[in-house]
Amino acid sequence: MIYPIIGLGHPTLRKIAKPIDKDYPELEKLIADMYETMYAADGVGLAAPQIDLSIRLVVIGFRPYDEKTDTYGPVAEQHTLINPEILEYIGEKEYFNEGCLSIPDIHEDVLRTEGIVMRWFDENWQMHEDEIHGMFARVAQHEYDHLEGKVFTDHLSTLRKTMLKRKLNDVISGKVRTSYRMKRK
Protein backbone atom coordinates (compact mmCIF):
# COMPACT_ATOMS: atom_id res chain seq x y z
CA MET A 1 0.00 0.00 0.00
CA ILE A 2 1.28 3.41 -0.93
CA TYR A 3 0.84 6.03 1.77
CA PRO A 4 0.29 9.70 1.02
CA ILE A 5 3.22 11.84 2.19
CA ILE A 6 2.73 14.86 4.41
CA GLY A 7 4.43 18.15 3.63
CA LEU A 8 6.19 20.89 5.52
CA GLY A 9 3.62 22.72 7.63
CA HIS A 10 1.98 19.51 8.86
CA PRO A 11 2.37 19.32 12.67
CA THR A 12 3.52 15.66 12.69
CA LEU A 13 6.77 16.67 10.96
CA ARG A 14 7.61 18.81 14.01
CA LYS A 15 6.96 16.17 16.68
CA ILE A 16 9.62 14.08 18.42
CA ALA A 17 8.76 10.56 17.28
CA LYS A 18 8.26 7.74 19.79
CA PRO A 19 10.33 4.54 19.96
CA ILE A 20 8.54 1.33 19.08
CA ASP A 21 8.82 -2.21 20.43
CA LYS A 22 8.35 -5.69 18.99
CA ASP A 23 4.62 -5.58 19.71
CA TYR A 24 3.99 -2.73 17.31
CA PRO A 25 0.97 -3.87 15.26
CA GLU A 26 1.65 -5.18 11.74
CA LEU A 27 5.17 -3.82 11.69
CA GLU A 28 6.27 -6.10 8.87
CA LYS A 29 3.49 -4.79 6.62
CA LEU A 30 4.18 -1.20 7.60
CA ILE A 31 7.87 -1.55 6.68
CA ALA A 32 7.00 -3.13 3.32
CA ASP A 33 4.50 -0.31 2.67
CA MET A 34 7.09 2.32 3.56
CA TYR A 35 9.55 0.86 1.03
CA GLU A 36 6.81 0.76 -1.58
CA THR A 37 5.85 4.38 -0.81
CA MET A 38 9.47 5.54 -0.95
CA TYR A 39 10.32 3.82 -4.24
CA ALA A 40 7.05 4.95 -5.86
CA ALA A 41 8.06 8.54 -5.07
CA ASP A 42 11.66 7.98 -6.29
CA GLY A 43 12.99 8.67 -2.80
CA VAL A 44 16.12 7.23 -1.17
CA GLY A 45 14.82 7.54 2.38
CA LEU A 46 11.51 7.79 4.20
CA ALA A 47 10.84 8.34 7.89
CA ALA A 48 7.53 7.25 9.45
CA PRO A 49 6.61 10.84 10.47
CA GLN A 50 6.46 11.64 6.73
CA ILE A 51 3.46 9.31 6.44
CA ASP A 52 1.94 10.90 9.54
CA LEU A 53 3.10 8.21 11.98
CA SER A 54 5.10 9.67 14.82
CA ILE A 55 7.30 6.63 15.48
CA ARG A 56 11.06 6.02 15.23
CA LEU A 57 11.12 4.00 12.02
CA VAL A 58 13.05 4.77 8.82
CA VAL A 59 13.60 3.02 5.50
CA ILE A 60 16.54 3.78 3.21
CA GLY A 61 17.12 2.28 -0.23
CA PHE A 62 19.39 2.83 -3.20
CA ARG A 63 18.76 1.75 -6.78
CA PRO A 64 21.04 2.50 -9.73
CA TYR A 65 19.51 5.13 -12.01
CA ASP A 66 20.00 4.99 -15.76
CA GLU A 67 19.82 8.51 -17.21
CA LYS A 68 19.52 7.34 -20.80
CA THR A 69 16.40 5.29 -20.23
CA ASP A 70 15.20 7.23 -17.17
CA THR A 71 14.65 3.99 -15.29
CA TYR A 72 15.84 2.43 -12.06
CA GLY A 73 17.62 -0.87 -11.74
CA PRO A 74 16.94 -3.37 -8.95
CA VAL A 75 17.55 -2.33 -5.34
CA ALA A 76 21.28 -2.37 -4.62
CA GLU A 77 21.21 -1.64 -0.92
CA GLN A 78 18.49 -1.06 1.65
CA HIS A 79 18.35 -0.50 5.38
CA THR A 80 15.48 -0.52 7.85
CA LEU A 81 16.25 1.55 10.93
CA ILE A 82 14.16 0.94 14.03
CA ASN A 83 14.82 3.24 17.01
CA PRO A 84 18.13 4.51 15.55
CA GLU A 85 20.56 6.45 17.73
CA ILE A 86 23.45 8.50 16.42
CA LEU A 87 26.29 7.87 18.88
CA GLU A 88 29.01 9.91 17.24
CA TYR A 89 29.61 12.21 14.27
CA ILE A 90 32.86 11.31 12.52
CA GLY A 91 34.96 12.51 9.60
CA GLU A 92 34.97 15.80 7.74
CA LYS A 93 31.92 17.99 7.38
CA GLU A 94 30.89 18.32 3.78
CA TYR A 95 28.10 19.85 1.70
CA PHE A 96 25.71 17.69 -0.28
CA ASN A 97 22.65 18.75 -2.26
CA GLU A 98 19.62 17.36 -0.43
CA GLY A 99 15.94 17.19 -1.20
CA CYS A 100 12.99 15.79 0.74
CA LEU A 101 9.70 14.18 -0.30
CA SER A 102 7.98 16.43 2.28
CA ILE A 103 9.54 19.59 0.78
CA PRO A 104 9.05 19.16 -2.98
CA ASP A 105 10.97 21.26 -5.52
CA ILE A 106 13.58 22.51 -3.06
CA HIS A 107 17.15 21.25 -3.24
CA GLU A 108 19.83 22.83 -1.10
CA ASP A 109 23.38 22.11 -0.01
CA VAL A 110 23.45 20.88 3.58
CA LEU A 111 26.56 20.54 5.74
CA ARG A 112 26.86 17.22 7.60
CA THR A 113 29.67 14.92 8.67
CA GLU A 114 30.77 12.30 6.18
CA GLY A 115 30.30 9.52 8.73
CA ILE A 116 28.43 8.60 11.89
CA VAL A 117 28.45 5.85 14.47
CA MET A 118 24.89 4.61 14.70
CA ARG A 119 23.02 2.00 16.70
CA TRP A 120 19.74 0.65 15.38
CA PHE A 121 17.56 -2.42 15.08
CA ASP A 122 16.78 -3.88 11.67
CA GLU A 123 13.46 -5.41 10.55
CA ASN A 124 14.39 -8.69 12.31
CA TRP A 125 15.13 -6.83 15.56
CA GLN A 126 18.80 -7.56 15.14
CA MET A 127 20.83 -4.83 16.82
CA HIS A 128 23.56 -3.09 14.81
CA GLU A 129 26.21 -0.71 16.02
CA ASP A 130 28.30 0.44 13.09
CA GLU A 131 30.44 3.18 11.72
CA ILE A 132 28.75 4.19 8.49
CA HIS A 133 29.90 6.47 5.70
CA GLY A 134 28.95 8.01 2.37
CA MET A 135 25.37 8.05 1.08
CA PHE A 136 24.08 5.76 3.81
CA ALA A 137 25.43 8.13 6.50
CA ARG A 138 24.09 11.18 4.64
CA VAL A 139 20.57 9.79 4.24
CA ALA A 140 20.55 8.34 7.78
CA GLN A 141 21.32 11.80 9.21
CA HIS A 142 18.58 13.40 7.08
CA GLU A 143 16.04 10.76 8.16
CA TYR A 144 17.14 10.88 11.79
CA ASP A 145 16.30 14.60 11.74
CA HIS A 146 12.70 13.68 10.85
CA LEU A 147 12.47 11.58 14.03
CA GLU A 148 13.58 14.64 16.00
CA GLY A 149 10.99 16.91 14.40
CA LYS A 150 13.54 18.57 12.14
CA VAL A 151 13.81 18.98 8.36
CA PHE A 152 16.83 19.66 6.16
CA THR A 153 15.94 23.30 5.52
CA ASP A 154 16.39 23.94 9.27
CA HIS A 155 20.13 23.57 8.63
CA LEU A 156 20.23 26.47 6.15
CA SER A 157 21.44 29.96 7.01
CA THR A 158 18.90 32.64 7.90
CA LEU A 159 19.76 34.42 4.65
CA ARG A 160 19.18 31.29 2.56
CA LYS A 161 15.90 30.60 4.36
CA THR A 162 14.78 34.17 3.68
CA MET A 163 15.59 33.70 0.00
CA LEU A 164 13.57 30.47 -0.05
CA LYS A 165 10.66 31.91 1.89
CA ARG A 166 8.24 32.11 -1.03
CA LYS A 167 9.01 28.56 -2.19
CA LEU A 168 8.73 27.23 1.37
CA ASN A 169 5.39 29.00 1.77
CA ASP A 170 4.18 27.38 -1.45
CA VAL A 171 5.00 23.98 0.04
CA ILE A 172 3.27 24.88 3.32
CA SER A 173 0.13 26.05 1.53
CA GLY A 174 0.11 22.99 -0.74
CA LYS A 175 0.78 24.90 -3.96
CA VAL A 176 3.29 22.41 -5.32
CA ARG A 177 2.65 19.62 -7.78
CA THR A 178 4.21 16.23 -7.12
CA SER A 179 4.26 12.94 -9.01
CA TYR A 180 3.24 11.24 -5.75
CA ARG A 181 0.21 11.75 -3.55
CA MET A 182 0.49 14.21 -0.67
CA LYS A 183 -1.85 14.57 2.28
CA ARG A 184 -2.87 17.95 3.62
CA LYS A 185 -3.28 18.77 7.30
CB nearer to Zn ion: give 27 or 140.
140
CA distances from 176 to 22, 36, 48, 168, 171 (A): 38, 22, 22, 10, 6
Q: Tell me the number of residues near Zn ion by CB under 5 A.
A: 1
For residues 81 to 100, the per-residue mask of contacts with Zn ion, x marking binding by CB under 5 A and - elsewhere, is -------------------x
Which amino acid, one-letter code, is at 52?
D
CA-to-CA distance for 123 and 18, rounded, in angstroms? 17
3-state helix, strand, coil in the chain (%, to 5): 30, 35, 35
Q: How far is the CB of 100 from Zn ion (least distance, A)?
A: 3
Residue 119 is inside which H or E element, if any? strand 108-121
Choice among 26, 88, 94, 143 that is catalytic: 143
Annotated catalytic, 143? yes
Q: How far is the CB of 148 from Zn ion (least distance, A)?
A: 12
- Asked if 51 interacts with Zn ion (CB under 5 A), we say no
Q: How far is the CB of 126 from Zn ion (least distance, A)?
A: 25
CA 125 to chain centre: 20
CB nearer to Zn ion: give 34 or 100.
100
Using only C-alpha atoms, the chain has a radius of gyration, in whole angstroms, of 16
Q: How far is the CB of 7 from Zn ion (least distance, A)?
A: 11
Shortest-Cβ-distance residue relative to Zn ion: 100
- Contacts with Zn ion by CB under 5 A lie at 100
Residues annotated catalytic, as ranges: 143
